[in-house]
Amino acid sequence: MTETVWWKRGTVYQVYPRSFQDSNGDGVGDLAGITRRLDYLAWLGVDAVWISPVYPSPMADYGYDVADYCGIDPLFGSLSDFDELVAQAHRRKLKVILDFVPNHTSIAHPWFTEARASRENPRRDWYIWRDPGPDGGPPNNWLSNFGGPAWTLDPATGQYYYHAFLREQPDLNWRNPAVRAAMYDALRFWLERGVDGFRVDVIWHLIKDDSFRDNPANPHFAEHLPEINRFHQVYSADRPEVLDVIAEMRAVLRAYGERVLIGEIYLPLERLMAYYGPDLSGADMPFNFQLIQTPWRADAVQELVENYEAGLPEGGWPNWVLGNHDQPRISARIGEEQARIAAMLLLTLRGTPTLYYGDELGLGHVPIPPERVRDPWELNEPGHGRDPERTPMQWEPGPRAGFSTAEPWLPLSPDHETRNVECLQDMPGSILTLYRRLLALRREHPALAVGSYRTLALGLPDILAYERSVGDARLRVILNFGTAAHEIPLPESETWTVLLSSRGGRAGERGAGRTVLGGAEGLILMQS
Ligand code: GLC
């Protein structure tokens, strides 16, 4: 099968705009900054850039609280800066994917201002209002993902409104056809401007239980977990009717040709697969976060890949993610050595990979001093915040790492003088070089991008090995999750050539039969 659709062959790179490149010296990244760095993305070898929200916003949740779906926040620039970004990206054959945040607006959105004006306001039903419970408290037990109740009383009208996240992020009522129509118009606004697709924020949240039943208690809840885990979110999210909404959204995109719909979905595998929709009418790619959630062990990852592959609906296209702006960085979780193995895994599995900016530098955990905490979640529930994975991109040596001329909104990683693009880009053994080689190999070898996947059972506990093939081309990927070197048995009748080692070197080495895999080494071999 040779897939030609761009989002199946390609790779996606996520930019958190506040942290990529500042162009006006205010310590916060912006659109002109991203445009300036498009040459870097083309050099790196990715195909699409997904930009986290840049809409006008009070920034209670750093842009995930949208006050106008058809504009650009002045902090990030203007609509013409956006048009310029799209034009410059397209000139470099890069696609642009926008973050669409349909589940909730900002409390400052004019729709909400109208909705809360009175119970009779025509926009009232655009949001989710309920009378107080019998005790005057919240109408049910639903909790906010950032801690505390998901309901806030509006004293003026005597009703509670629902917010799955901050009280500054009231949920829209997606059962209301007028809401749907308005939001599809917003999608069209950006499609008309040439956007190539959307990453849809918390898409599984859009529809809530129509009778607002209490969520059942989670017997496995433990105090160290975020409070949201006290209950299983079975009534507040993942309702079957959401698939109709997604199919409608997808249809809006399809009217513009090959535009992609990616859905952010944190659900177990069986439920995740439902989001491809009946007859694949749903999300083109329901984001697969399983690598983030699975223990970093060869056996666990192998089982995950096999279960994911087996669970895909007929024709459903796979995808893989190692990190994003909500999750601890991969290097912070497993260390840089294994992060290289993870990079090789991400870019050699079947399906579209999404890279998170800075992971290609091996950015690790960045300590955030208490006075510099920005994430509202950290302020509500200390220990769960996401600032450490949102720190500025590091471009060059120097006090601000080339990110800005001012103090950045979040601190740089302490190792920024050496861990930056300029220092790593020509270094043969660097993680950045590894990412770039992997991206180049994916383009050179269709087997890696669109070939079939087959696990190779080597019987070595620390090793994950698999074959990717298309036509006569057969590539083997052998990844060492441990620190000890291993002899790897390979068929005597075949010759192998090393295409890439995760540690650098070895490319071009040839042999037949066994080879040696170093501790924490990953290899891509071509069989002939
Ligand atoms: C998604 C975003 C996250 C945001 C939340 C609320 O999970 O990725 O950053 O806080 O939705 O919009």
pLDDT (tens digit, 9 = 90+) per residue, 483-497? 999 999 999 999 999
285: β partners: 262
Tokens for 402?
């080339």
Q: What mean pLDDT, rounded, does the chain reach? A: 97
For the chain, the 3-state helix, strand and coil shares in percent, each to the nearest 5, are 30, 15, 50
64 CB less than 6 Å from ligand 1? yes
Task: Return the H-helix or E-strand segment holding 345.
Answer: helix 330-346
- d(Cα 21, Cα 490) in Å, to the nearest integer? 46
505: β partners: none
Placement of tokens 């260390």 in the chain:
335
202 CB less than 6 Å from ligand 1? yes
- d(Cα 329, Cα 349) in Å, to the nearest integer? 20
How confident is the model at residue 1, as a pLDDT? 47
327 CB less than 6 Å from ligand 1? no
Given a cut of 50, is residue 480 above it in pLDDT?
yes
- Going from the Cα of 64 to the center of ligand 1, the distance in angstroms, rounded, reads 6
Average pLDDT over residues 15-28: 98
Q: Give the CA radius of gyration of the chain.
A: 24
Given a cut of 80, is residue 3 above it in pLDDT?
no
CB 203 within 8 A of CB 100: no
User: Of the residues 104, 162, 202, 204, which should be mutated to test ligand 1's pocket, given the most ligand atoms within 8 Å of the CB?
Assistant: 202
Given a cut of 90, is residue 366 above it in pLDDT?
yes
- Going from the Cα of 469 to the center of ligand 1, the distance in angstroms, rounded, reads 37
228 CB less than 6 Å from ligand 1? no
Average pLDDT over residues 329-354: 98
Given a cut of 60, is residue 12 above it in pLDDT?
yes
Query: 3-state class of 11 per DSSP?
Result: coil
**78 HSE (CA, 13 A, CB side):** 2
165 CB less than 6 Å from ligand 1? yes
Residues, the chain? 528
What is the biggest distance separating any 2 CA atoms in the chain, rounded to whole angstroms? 80
Count of Cβ atoms closer than 10 Å to residue 15 Cβ? 25
Superfamily of domain 6-103+177-439: Glycosidases (3.20.20.80)
How confident is the model at residue 4, as a pLDDT? 82
Query: 3-state class of 434 per DSSP?
Result: helix
- What are the residue ranges spanned by the domains of the chain? 6-103+177-439, 110-162, 451-527
Proportion of the chain above pLDDT 90, given as a percent: 99
Pick the CATH number of 110-162 from 3.90.199.10, 3.40.50.300, 3.90.400.10, 3.30.70.260: 3.90.400.10
Given a cut of 80, is residue 217 above it in pLDDT?
yes
Tokens for 264?
């952010």
Supply the CATH classification number for the domain 451-527: 2.60.40.1180
pTM score above 0.95: yes
- Read off φ and ψ for residue 52, nearest 5 degrees: -60, 165
- Going from the Cα of 137 to the center of ligand 1, the distance in angstroms, rounded, reads 26
Given a cut of 50, is residue 43 above it in pLDDT?
yes
Active site residues: 201, 264
* Interior/surface letters 107-130, b for 16+ CB within 10 angstroms, e for the rest: bbbebbeebbeeeeeebbebbbbe
* pLDDT, tens digit, 9 for 90 and up, residues 261-306: 999 999 999 999 999 999 999 999 999 999 999 999 999 999 999 9
How confident is the model at residue 84, as a pLDDT? 98
* pLDDT, tens digit, 9 for 90 and up, residues 96-146: 999 999 999 999 999 999 999 999 999 999 999 999 999 999 999 999 999
How confident is the model at residue 220, as a pLDDT? 96
Burial class (CB in 10 A: 0-12, 13-18, 19+), 173: buried
* pLDDT, tens digit, 9 for 90 and up, residues 309-333: 999 999 999 999 999 999 999 999 9
